[in-house]
Each structure stands twice: as C-alpha cells, then as structure tokens.
C-alpha cells in the first residue's frame, strides 16, 4: 500500500514503524518481526551447490571454501586455476604492457580526462581480480602487479606512483587493499585514511565539505583497512590504531542497521536492496554483510533487518538474481543478464546466511 513504510515492499514481515521497536543505548534500530526467521530453510541444497560448482574457477574455489568446507589443498588447487582459466585469465590477458586496462569504450566517462579514465578502469580491474581470488603469489599475479607498481602514476599529482594512492578516500581505500593483497601494505596510506575518518565514524569523498559519512565511501575504506590488517598480521603495534578505526566504522554501519538514517530511521537508498556484482564503488546490503562476515564479527542483533532483506531477495528456485548492473566498466563480461539467476549473488548470499546462522546459534556470554 502507498502508506506502507518503505521497507514493506521488500520485507513484508517488518513492523509498520520503527517506533514499535525497542530502543536502547546499545541498539537504536532493532527491527521487529511478525514471525521468526528460519534460516535453515535457506541452507544450500545439493542442486544449488551443483549449479554453483558448474561455473568459473573463481566461484568454484569460494564455494569449496565457504559452503562445502573442502580440504585446504583441494581449495588451493582450484584457486590456482583463476590465473590460467576463465574470468581471471581473461582479465589478466587484457592488461596492457603499460600496466593499465585501457581507456574504456567510446562515450564512457567522457567527463574525465583520458588518463583518469584509464586509471579508474585499472582500479576496478584490480579490485575484481581480488574478488575473483587471484592468488597473489602466482607468477601471473606477480607480473601483473609489477607492471602496475613500476609503470602507473598519477600525473596530476606530480607523477605519484599508483599504489601510493591519490586524494579521495573511496579510491585510496581500494588502493590500500589492492596493494596489501598483491604487493605490500602501505603504512603511509593507512595513516592518511585514519586521519580522514569523520566524527560519526565513517568516511566521505566529499569531505571536508560534507562532514556526514557516506556508506559508499565507508565500505570501500573498510575493505581496504581489513586487507591491510591481514597483510600486517603479527605486527600488533602497526595495526592497533587501524583496527580501532575499522571497528568504529563498522559500528557506524551497525548503528544504522546497515541501511537506515540515524536521524529519521528511514531507508537511505532503496537501491541498496538490489544486489550486483561487481559492486565497484557502490554500497548495497549484501556487500556490507559479506564484508562483516569476512571480519569474523560476533553476533549482533542490529544485523537482523539486513539479514531478512537478503532472505527476502531470494527467488523461489533458491537462487538470487542479478538485480542490476552498474555503469562502471572493466574489459570483462561475467554475468550480464539483469533478472537472471546470479552465481555471484547466490554464493555471497548463501555464505552470509551460513555465517549468520552459525553466529546466531553459537553460545554467547551473558552481558
């Protein structure tokens, strides 16, 4: 109905108003339900697993790791194929000797100088190679990142090397993660991002003009900081401040239920209900939850509303569709049918629900 709150169109089991929900100092946006969620109904069935495995090595190895709990050596063997087969090999083959992935098709981002278009496509391509799980120790990955490291610069920033970052936190968050994953963690870039964290806990590429954080910028920085911490594992003195900043930014998302305005308790952007891959710089609920899954965060009831959204977006056939395709560009086509079943979205949704189910039934200490 026209007068229904905005989330009702997607999740009809939510209460009519957030004022009906408990509000405590620890949980400003606990969402109510007319029925309990039964996540076991959404556990992957053999047919779902078979369908997911009948795909690219980039999906297969992650299914083996996250859903079927295969032996580490079997997972590693499948992962190694990303560099030589399928999407990973295709994207690697399209890197130029100069280190970039071209300037994009005619008409794409004509508002940007040609050099900036190329660097942006490079950023997106590198991020997708990370998402595919390209083994950073493979000879193909080493060759690829050495080209980037030695040959790409930001000309407008006095030829600053590409992996040293530029000026916007949304881009620098991705570059920090890419450098940490494929090359080495950049302490100076991590410190720069920490200095740019806003008072509410997140980041915004429009700062200092805007002092209100952006979900889009915040998720890009969070993913980069997490990858930096993984690369710096064992060096507690270096990562302590990064971990503190990261957890503060995660709380920024949690306080808002992963999608709500803290002031009005309204959904910030309905497009966050529509899942896509690659995500590029765009935030959505599934991307946010998959990030938190990767952190190993403890059970937090503030995630229940976002989890319910993922459950509701599932089609009756047990698969999640590709809800939209973002206009950003990389020289690779993976899943292109909007509305069609998406292995990427299904994989990510199933592992998020598996993680949530495991966390929700695990014993928790009394407050």
CA distance from start to end of the chain? 40
> Rounded to whole angstroms, how far apart are CA atoms 352 and 320?
13
Give the pLDDT confidence of 62-78 residue by residue, as tens digits. Answer: 999 999 999 999 999 99
74 falls within a domain: yes
> Rounded to whole angstroms, how far apart are CA atoms 32 and 16?
9
Give the pLDDT confidence of 76-135 residue by residue, as tens digits. Answer: 999 999 999 999 999 999 999 999 999 999 899 999 998 899 999 999 999 999 999 999
210 falls within a domain: no
pLDDT score of 299: 93
Percentage of the chain lying above the pLDDT 70 cut = 86
pLDDT score of 245: 97
241 falls within a domain: no
> Rounded to whole angstroms, how far apart are CA atoms 98 and 115?
12
Per-residue pLDDT band for 43 (boundaries 50, 70, 90) equals: confident
Number of domains forming the structure of the chain? 1
Tokens read off for 164: 């040293």
Task: Write down the residue that tokens 């080495």 correspond to.
Answer: 184
Q: pTM for the complete prediction?
A: 0.89
pLDDT score of 233: 79
Q: In b/e form, how buried is each residue of 120-144, taking b as 16+ CB within 10 angstroms?
A: bbbbbbbbbbbbbbbbbebebbeeb
Q: 311, 312, 340, 346: which is closest to 324 by C-alpha? A: 340
Tell me which residue range forms the domain holding 283.
35-79+271-367
155 falls within a domain: no
Q: Could you tell me which residues come within 8 angstroms of residue 215 by beta carbon, excluding any fewer than 6 positions away?
A: 202, 253, 268, 269, 272, 283, 288
Q: What is the CA radius of gyration of the chain?
A: 21
- Dihedral through CA 40, CA 318, CA 307, CA 295, nearest 10? 90
60 falls within a domain: yes
> Cα-flanking dihedrals φ and ψ of residue 154, to 5°?
-90, 100
Give the pLDDT confidence of 176-185 residue by residue, as tens digits. Answer: 999 999 999 9
184 falls within a domain: no
236 falls within a domain: no
pLDDT score of 364: 60
212 falls within a domain: no
Q: Is 299 helix (H, G, I), strand (E, B) or coil?
A: coil
> Rounded to whole angstroms, how far apart are CA atoms 283 and 73?
33
Q: Is 260 helix (H, G, I), strand (E, B) or coil?
A: strand
């Amino acid at each position: 109905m026209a007068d229904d709150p905005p989330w009702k169109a997607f999740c009809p089991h939510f209460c009519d108003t957030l004022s009906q929900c408990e509000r405590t100092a620890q949980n400003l946006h606990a969402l109510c339900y007319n029925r309990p969620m039964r996540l076991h109904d959404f556990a992957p069935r053999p047919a779902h697993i078979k369908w997911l495995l009948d795909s690219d090595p980039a999906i297969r190895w992650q299914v083996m790791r996250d859903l079927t709990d295969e032996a580490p050596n079997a997972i590693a063997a499948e992962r190694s194929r990303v560099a030589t087969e399928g999407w990973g090999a295709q994207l690697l083959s399209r890197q130029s000797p100069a280190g970039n992935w071209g300037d994009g098709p005619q008409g794409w981002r004509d508002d940007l100088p040609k050099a900036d278009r190329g660097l942006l496509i490079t950023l997106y391509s590198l991020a997708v190679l990370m998402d595919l799980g390209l083994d950073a120790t493979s000879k193909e990955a080493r060759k690829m990142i050495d080209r980037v490291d030695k040959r790409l610069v930001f000309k407008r920033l006095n030829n600053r090397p590409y992996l040293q970052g530029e000026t916007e936190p949304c881009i620098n968050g991705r570059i920090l993660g890419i450098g940490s994953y494929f090359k080495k963690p950049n302490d100076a870039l991590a410190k720069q991002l920490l200095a740019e964290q806003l008072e509410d806990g997140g980041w915004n590429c429009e700062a200092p003009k805007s002092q209100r954080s952006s979900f889009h910028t915040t998720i890009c920085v969070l993913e980069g900081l997490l990858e930096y911490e993984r690369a710096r594992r064992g060096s507690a003195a270096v990562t302590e401040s990064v971990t503190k900043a990261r957890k503060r930014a995660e709380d920024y998302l949690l306080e808002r239920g992963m999608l709500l305005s803290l002031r009005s308790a309204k959904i910030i952007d309905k497009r966050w209900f529509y899942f896509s891959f690659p995500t590029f710089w765009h935030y959505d609920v599934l991307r946010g939850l998959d990030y938190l899954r990767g952190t190993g965060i403890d059970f937090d009831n503030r995630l229940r509303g976002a989890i319910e959204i993922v459950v509701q977006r599932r089609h009756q056939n047990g698969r999640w569709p590709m809800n939209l395709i973002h206009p950003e560009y990389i020289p690779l086509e993976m899943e292109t049918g909007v509305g069609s079943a998406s292995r990427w979205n299904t994989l990510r949704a199933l592992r998020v629900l598996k993680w949530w189910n495991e966390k929700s039934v695990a014993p928790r200490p009394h407050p």
